[in-house]
Structure 1
Amino acid sequence: MKRSLIPGPWAALILALSVAAGCGGDSRAEAGGPGGGPGGGPGGDARAVPVAARIAQPTELEVVLRGSANLRALQQVEVLPKQAGVIARLLVEEGTPVRSGQPLAVLDAEEWRLQARQADARAQAARDAYERGRALQTQGLLAEQELERLRSEAAVAAADRDLAQLRVRNATIQSPMGGVVTHRYVERGQQVNTSTPAFAVADVSRLEADVGIPERDAPRVRTGQAARVRVEGVGTVVQGRVARVRPVVDPGSGTVQVTIEVNPAQAGGLRAGQFVNVDIVTETLDERIALPRTAVLVDGAAPRIFLVEDGRAVEREVALGTSQGDQVEIQTGVQPGDTVVVVGQDNLRSGMPVRLMELDGVAVQRAPPATEAAAAGQGGPPGERRGQGGGGRP
């Protein structure tokens, strides 16, 4: 028979019901009692099948699309040196929080500082020469063309000075944004260039996940829809929303990329790169009947469930709708208030007597043997009654 996997909360109960069912099937149960068929005499309900049930109640269901992805920082940059050189000092490590403009490392800049002093001296000399030439030109002792040459030389020397000073400043590698250092690619004494990243910095307070949604489901997804991000094995669930829906289909996978933004207030327990499962809530359905998947038998032509009416099982065909986790919507076949068998229905047939062991997750208290005997109209000791009627409880 085709069955859904049984979720963890029901496993212990199923084991208990199996043991109870086995204890109720001994030879005394088959002997029968006066006034009844096999096992059905006035000694009890030894042939009743132990089950767990739930009262069907209208509830709210969410229609979700599921996907998986790796979290990534909303903003992440790789920091490249602005000039080639040798790493002289490292100022941060991976995991260090940084602010925009904070130094991350310093290149060996001794030669650049010397060049800057030379350039400054040349610039000052060129400026002085220009000032002297201008004084001579006002006295008519210097041609205008010569003064223009001195002016040009002073401007070039000033530009060389500024460039040399910029080299000194660029010897410090700075963070272009606030965040956390996620990677350090360099070591002290290492030669670096302007095309190789030295660090990576990310704003890990804001995380996103890119989920591939099948093309046929893409029209159901809109920006702003609620989403849930789950970390399997940890139990962490945080809220999010659909931030972007890519307007094109990936021809290789046939999916549309949907970007989920994680609520920043809840992102503290998550990390960039972490694998997560994502539920996108595309629709909310009110006043729907939902049951555990394990309550539905799908081994025949139509899905069916068992109700409990007057202590007996009643088989009912149902029509299924949407599903949410281990719950499935029952569109027809069950009414609010019906008592539906959710565990123990595998070997039931319509009309069989059943005994409730659990209702809505709460164990059903059974009467003590003496009370059961009085209710059955027997006056002898419990052991004698079982021998006469064969209907005692296990």
Structure 2
Amino acid sequence: MQKLVNIGILAIAVTFASCGAKTDDGTLAAKKAKLESLKKEVAALESDIAKTDTAAGKEERPKLVTIDTLKPSGFTHYIDLQGKVESVNVSNVTPRTQPGQVKAVFVKTGDIVSKGQVLLQLDDVVAKQNLRAAEQGLGSLKAQLDLAKEVYRRRKNLLDQGIGTEVQVLSDKTSVDSYESQLKSAQENVKLAQEQVNFTTVRSDLDGVADVVNIRVGETFSGANQIRIVNTHDLKITTQIPENYLGRVHVGSHVKVTLPDINRTIDAIVTVAGKLIDQDSRSFYIEAKIPSDKDFHPNQLALVKIQDYSAPGAYTVPLNTVQTDEKGKYVMVAVTEKQKVIAKKRAVVIGELYGDRIEIKSGLQTGDHVIVDGYQSLYENQLLTTDAR
């Protein structure tokens, strides 16, 4: 168009100059001056046209963008929380009877102990005295029972020979029955007294480590946080889940546990999910068992990722590629039309978000070229040049 303008204006100028040459009014110098003036007017017109007619300018340069070819990759959402390692079995050792004075301590903090191992010896003087008294009473009753049985045997033999009365025999039989009953009670008393003696020897209820030993000889052992045994071979992860996830976390949910201080990540399954919501924290309790390992310790910090949603065949895109206009959410894609690569908007329906990836429920399909870099300020049908990831 600009060339046509130039040719038209020059033609007018030449015609005007030719017409002027046929008159006698102008000299050759005047005609040249007139032509130079016309050339300046043409240049000014060209400048004005270039400013207002953008189509007459240079051809549009394509914008460089980076694309990612879409394919199903699956999507998994996790709840990120903090938990800790705990022992499944923790024993706070207590006396089986009344508190007693400590005569000997056989364990110290950090010792590995086995089930049944002796931890403390309490004062057993009174218990042993009671045992001896019970055993003496049992012995006396046994002697009286033996005598009563012998009397009953003899009276019965005499009665069989017609000597004596049946009333005497029945009385002797009653005495035997009474002593036998007393003997059973005495035997129970001996067992109880023996247990009281046994209880003065404090033993571990499980295999584990003596996590707390806060008792010394001469002190009274009452069991108030004085000895604690922790089983380090049977461990679990515990954490609190916000109540808004109550319907999404349950027994069987998959868990990824990271122990940051030793840089270890393990997979686990929720084995217990509480049904009670804590009134203060508005959360509920879960636990997941983990395997035994020498590097795992009770109360160790754990980063817990609980899987609460999974879509195996889902499409995902980087979160920052999803934009919003008056019609809703969209992403920019690169398409080829008439042998040119141009930008197009694709309206999308989004799903769950985790990390820097967001699930696309609809609007995209396999093979779409999603613009993941350079999408800012793109407009519909803008010419592109692409760099594939």
Q: Shorter-normalised TM-score: what interval?
A: 0.5 to 0.7
SS of 2:193 mapped into structure 1? helix
Structure-1 residue corresponding to 2:213: 184
Q: Which residue of 2 aligns with 1:161?
A: 190
Match of 1:62 among 76, 81, 85: 76
Q: Structure 1-normalised TM-score?
A: 0.61
Partner of 1:13: none
Percentage identity across paired residues of the two chains = 19
Summarize the Cα distance change of 1:313–1:94 in structure 2 as closer, same or farther, 3 Å threshold: farther
SS in 1 for 2:255: strand
3-state SS of 1:112 partner: helix
- Contact 1:205 1:264 (C-alpha < 8 Å) held by counterparts: yes
Which residue does the alignment assign to 2:145? 130
2: CA distance, partners of 1:113 / 1:285: 70
Residue 315 of structure 2 aligns with which residue? 289
Aligned residues: 314
Opposite residue 261 of structure 1, the aligned amino acid is A
Of 234-243 and 164-173, deviating more is: 234-243
> Is 1:329–2:359 an aligned residue pair?
yes
Worse overlay, 194-203 or 99-108: 194-203
Pairing of 1:334-349 with structure 2 (within 5 A): 334-342=364-372
Q: CA deviation at 1:85?
A: 1.3
Quick check: 1:242 aligned with 2:257? Answer: no
Query: What is the distance in 1 between the residues matched to 2:133 and 2:198?
Result: 16
State the Cα distance separating 1:191 from its structure 2 match.
0.7
Could you state the TM-score of these two structures normalised by the residue count of structure 2? 0.61
- For the 8 Å contact 1:209–1:261, the answer to whether it is kept is yes
How big is the shift at 1:190?
2.4
- 2 CA distance for matches of 1:195 and 1:138? 58
Amino acid at match of 1:225: S
Relative to structure 1, the CA distance from residue 349 to residue 189 in structure 2 (aligned partners, 3 Å threshold; closer, same or farther) is farther
Contact 1:182–1:202, Cα closer than 8 Å, also in 2? no
Match runs of 1:13-52 below 5 Å: none
In the alignment, which residue of structure 2 is the partner of 1:74? Answer: 88
- Residue 286 of structure 1, CA deviation: 2.9
Q: Residues 273-331 of structure 1, C-alpha deviation per residue, up to 9 Å, x if partnerless?
A: 33434333344313322233344456998555555677887666644221233321234
Deviates more, 1:150-159 or 1:281-290: 150-159
Structure having the higher helix fraction is 2
Q: Whole-Å Cα distance in 1 between the matches of residues 370 and 183 of structure 2?
A: 95
- 2:255 is matched with which residue? 227
- Counterparts of 2:341 and 2:217 in 1: how far apart (Å)? 80
Q: Kindly tell me: are residues 289 and 353 of structure 1, through their superposed partners in 2, closer, same or farther at Cα, counting changes over 3 Å?
A: same
Using the alignment, how far apart are the partners of 2:211 and 2:319 within structure 1? Answer: 43
Query: Of 106, 123, 129, which residue of structure 2 is paired with 1:91?
Result: 106
Q: 1:271 to 1:56 in 2, by over 3 A?
A: farther
Pair 1:209 & 2:238 matched: yes
Give the SS at the match of 1:127: helix
Contact preservation (8 Å) 2:206, 2:229: no
Contact 2:90-2:228 within 8 A present in 1 as well: no
SS at match of 2:216: coil
Q: Is the 8 A contact 1:91 1:103 kept in 2?
A: yes
Does the aligned pair in 2 maintain the 1:68–1:276 contact within 8 Å? yes
Cα 1:205–1:347 shift into 2, 3 Å: farther
The letter for the 1-side match of 2:354 is Q
**276, 291, 294: which one pairs with 1:264?**
291
CA contact (8 A) 1:294 1:343 kept: no
Structure 2: gaps of 5 or more residues: 1-56, 156-167
Judge conservation of contact 1:229–1:262 (CA < 8 Å) in 2.
no
Whether the 8 Å CA contact 1:228–1:280 is kept in 2: the answer is yes
Larger radius of gyration: 2
RMSD: 4.4
- Contact (CA 8 Å) 2:142, 2:183: kept in 1 or not? yes
> 2:236–2:289: 8 Å Cα contact kept in structure 1?
yes
Q: Quick one: structure 1 residues 252 and 111, their matched pair in 2 at CA, closer, same or farther if it must change by over 3 Å?
A: closer
Question: Aligned pair in 2 of structure 1 residues 152, 247: CA closer, same or farther (>3 Å)?
Answer: closer
Distance 1:81 1:52, change over 3 A: farther
Distance change (3 Å), C-alpha of 1:303 and 1:186: farther
Say if 1:306 and 1:161 are closer, same or farther in 2 by CA, change over 3 A: same
2:271–2:287 contact (8 Å) kept in structure 1: yes
Letter paired with 2:198: R
In structure 1, stretches of 5+ residues that fail to align are 1-35, 361-394
Of the structure 1 ranges 131-140 and 295-304, higher mean CA displacement relative to structure 2 is found in 295-304
Q: Partners in 1 of 2:268 and 2:305 — Cα distance?
A: 9
| Shift in Å, 1:192 | 1.3
Counterpart-to-counterpart distance in 2, 1:73 and 1:180: 11
Cα distance in 2 for residues equivalent to 1:250 and 1:235:
31
Relative to structure 1, the CA distance from residue 251 to residue 191 in structure 2 (aligned partners, 3 Å threshold; closer, same or farther) is closer
Indicate yes or no: 2:196 matched with 1:170. no
Q: CA deviation digits over 1:349-394, x for unaligned, max 9?
A: 77487785xx64xxxxxxxxxxxxxxxxxxxxxxxxxxxxxxxxxx
Q: 2:117·2:203 contact (CA, 8 Å) conserved in 1?
A: yes
Mean Cα displacement is larger for which, 246-255 or 168-177? 246-255
Q: Which residue of 2 aligns with 1:392?
A: none
Query: Following the alignment from structure 1 to structure 2, what is the Cα–Cα distance between the partners of residues 297 and 269?
Result: 46
